[in-house]
Structure 1
């Protein structure tokens, strides 16, 4: 109770008299008397001033001069400022979903395919420029070799090269490969993507295999479990519920390290799948959670019709293997990024599920610094390396001012990030009341939509 009262007091102190609950962008903002978790390494900088101009951090220190005519966010020495969070595997395409992400402290997302042209052309630029509340969005163009799966069907190298040009013209950031591409088509995507600056990300391709994909430059593996399908299981052998031998984990770690690739540590997603297979009641439990008020009615219906519950696989042993694999990768310095597949997988709600993923990573033995790295520094390093673009993921001068203010040190308790005191994205500060207003608007819009049926 005392902790709750203290947190509430900070919120009240942070909000100026007469402040509106919606966003009020300021040209320059000063966070004063805040404890900073910069995430450049495992350390804390106490009682700092962080000066933000526009959407960029310009200064940090105890003696930073603060102009008199700027917005001041006073942490009173008890609030903690850390980088905004990143979910590097999402399928959200609505303004409502993006608002819910932001309200959960998520300031960057990577849309991993199925991103329709209207989303990429209109919503993404508006969000990235701060005209619509949400995280900064990166997008991928999903391609496959068969209509039985997902994305645009591409069957020849010539088509692959043309699709890379099409994706580039339409503003996509990455090419996402799916499981049924031919080796020749994959190679064409890899070559043309490298030439035009659209790196490959995505699944293990069955006819190519992860080792060869990484050799040809695939930058990111979209799921840790892809190693089951196209690395540990021999070609032509059917996948089973039996996990690989733990002694083979060093092989996978060495492969990723050799090619300096990135792996999505999506333990929360795999756990959600493992728990619901063959258990319709688990879907009902997901939908009974208070968080599910922020799930779109269309997604709610799709979750209820999920084919996972009709399957008979038993994935708990493989989930345990994945925990060991991800822990070994983290300890070896593999670049891991958090990702949730929300809202495509039942139980993975936009924004909320990222915190579930971080909790799963911590339960798997990663230190809190390693866990927080997957949602801050590592995503920023991945984007900077592959796109040569914005710098984010650290609290440091020159970096994008994607920031979360919390009542406790997240390196002592990751759970504090579930209820931020405020979030800054695209140069705009929203306190806890403004974040709640975003969620209230989403909830009310879904209530009205449901009442209309």
Structure 2
């Protein structure tokens, strides 16, 4: 995790002499006029010649030729620019204001921190983000709990401890509990019960001694990685992992498991497994990533961690297993199982905040998902999931009353997903950042890191 000097972080929080403060909320209305609209509602469609009005952070009205209130900020689509929902990364580990600005600059306006966030981020940065006082996505945080010390997480050893742990997490602003690999079965069961009593949704990895089927039966609402199916569904307990993927004939059983638990979702993070596979036995790959221009906005501590990536020393060939995960993702999508885009950035080398989410969309398309299905994993489905689990207002779709999180692009993502990598502007909770402002966010972070390193 990135750790800047305290005076730097305080200056950021105060917004003193910085170009990276959140744009002020519009006093009146923002109007997107004569745009092509991709609503991401129940079916793929593109609406031509639309006007969309935003007031007080929400979409107020949509329609052709709507009157624009006098004094509104007017953004012209010229009949060709496309307006679509902004993006969500539903598995990340960033916990700095700098990373949040970078996420926003790449069109990410919703994020789920899947564990490891420092208390300062939870108590200071996250509220400032969610109230619009800092530029970045709206962030929800999960508290990670394990049964062993191996991975550096908080430990839960007995069922009697579960209630207090969930209560403490809720008190400190966590919205989810994340179960990790080493929990004992009886402790996991107590944790699931405590989560239900406290109203904190349970998500997580496949727990080795519990396994995914029992976890979903106990109420777990999200599988944190596609690869968890390798370890706690396809493999028998204690079975060693090899480079050979499971037989495709077993994919329908995984689909049936998820369909038996309506509302349960899976993080479709092909980019995570791809990054791991790409660096095994290849230290030169780390050097390539660190020489990438995007590394200018990578936190100094993350740069150091990437250089020491433990995956480089491993000996495996994971390409066949990666291809299998793509086929699994496609089967889940075709069956209507909710897929949520995620990246695990920046804890794994090669996963740049924001950029890796766009890479994940391309990998989902390459795996056989339609562009609409791939985009839904980063827009519509996260919005529905957060509404279902947390009671969040509508997001991830363009409809009246939804949170005004938008991307303006040159082309329709249904024609080319890569158009979202070059946004003409992003609106986050009703605050508009044009292309120049987005570039300024990245430039400000890069300059700050250079100053710290000097």
TM-score, normalization: structure 2? Answer: 0.94
1:300 partnered with 2:299: no
In 1, the alpha carbon distance for the partners of 2:103 and 2:310 equals 26
Q: Secondary structure at the match of 1:405?
A: strand
1:401 partnered with 2:412: no
Deviation of 1:21 (Å): 9.1
Report the equivalent of 1:343.
346
Report the equivalent of 1:181.
183
In 2, the alpha carbon distance for the partners of 1:44 and 1:21 equals 33
Alignment of 1:352-431 (within 5 A): 352-431=355-434
Report the equivalent of 1:437.
440
1:285 partnered with 2:288: yes
Deviation of 1:304 (Å): 0.3
Decide which of 28, 50, 53 is 1:48's aligned counterpart: 50
1:267-309 per-position Cα deviation (integer Å, ceiling 9, x unaligned): 0111110010111111111112111111111101100001100
Deviation of 1:392 (Å): 0.4
Deviation of 1:25 (Å): 3.0
Alignment of 1:161-310 (within 5 A): 161-260=163-262, 261-310=264-313
In 2, the alpha carbon distance for the partners of 1:205 and 1:190 equals 13
Report the equivalent of 2:158.
156
In 2, the alpha carbon distance for the partners of 1:345 and 1:233 equals 24
Deviation of 1:65 (Å): 2.4
In 2, the alpha carbon distance for the partners of 1:324 and 1:96 equals 35
Q: Secondary structure at the match of 1:76?
A: coil
**8 Å contact from structure 1 (residues 50, 61) kept in 2:** yes
In 1, the alpha carbon distance for the partners of 2:273 and 2:152 equals 19
In 2, the alpha carbon distance for the partners of 1:184 and 1:399 equals 41
1:123-157 per-position Cα deviation (integer Å, ceiling 9, x unaligned): 11100111000000010001000011232011011
Moved over 6 A (4+): none
**8 Å contact from structure 2 (residues 25, 57) kept in 1:** no
The Cα RMSD (Å) is 1.1
Deviation of 1:390 (Å): 2.1
Report the equivalent of 2:336.
333
In 2, the alpha carbon distance for the partners of 1:220 and 1:199 equals 9
Q: Secondary structure at the match of 1:268?
A: helix
Gaps in structure 1 of 5+ consecutive residues = 1-19
Higher mean Cα deviation, 22-31 or 188-197?
22-31
In 2, the alpha carbon distance for the partners of 1:448 and 1:21 equals 16
**8 Å contact from structure 1 (residues 150, 178) kept in 2:** no
Decide which of 444, 449, 452 is 1:449's aligned counterpart: 452
Higher mean Cα deviation, 282-291 or 297-306?
282-291
**8 Å contact from structure 1 (residues 103, 435) kept in 2:** yes
Gaps in structure 2 of 5+ consecutive residues = 1-18
Higher mean Cα deviation, 435-444 or 381-390?
381-390
1:26 partnered with 2:26: yes
Deviation of 1:63 (Å): 3.3
Q: Secondary structure at the match of 2:143?
A: strand
1:54-91 per-position Cα deviation (integer Å, ceiling 9, x unaligned): 11111000132221021111111111100010000000
In 1, the alpha carbon distance for the partners of 2:93 and 2:79 equals 38
1:323-355 per-position Cα deviation (integer Å, ceiling 9, x unaligned): 111111111111001000000010001001000
Decide which of 115, 118, 125 is 1:116's aligned counterpart: 118
Higher mean Cα deviation, 90-99 or 69-78?
69-78
Deviation of 1:438 (Å): 0.5
Report the equivalent of 1:8.
none
Report the equivalent of 2:3.
none
**8 Å contact from structure 2 (residues 20, 444) kept in 1:** no
Deviation of 1:426 (Å): 2.1
Deviation of 1:24 (Å): 4.4
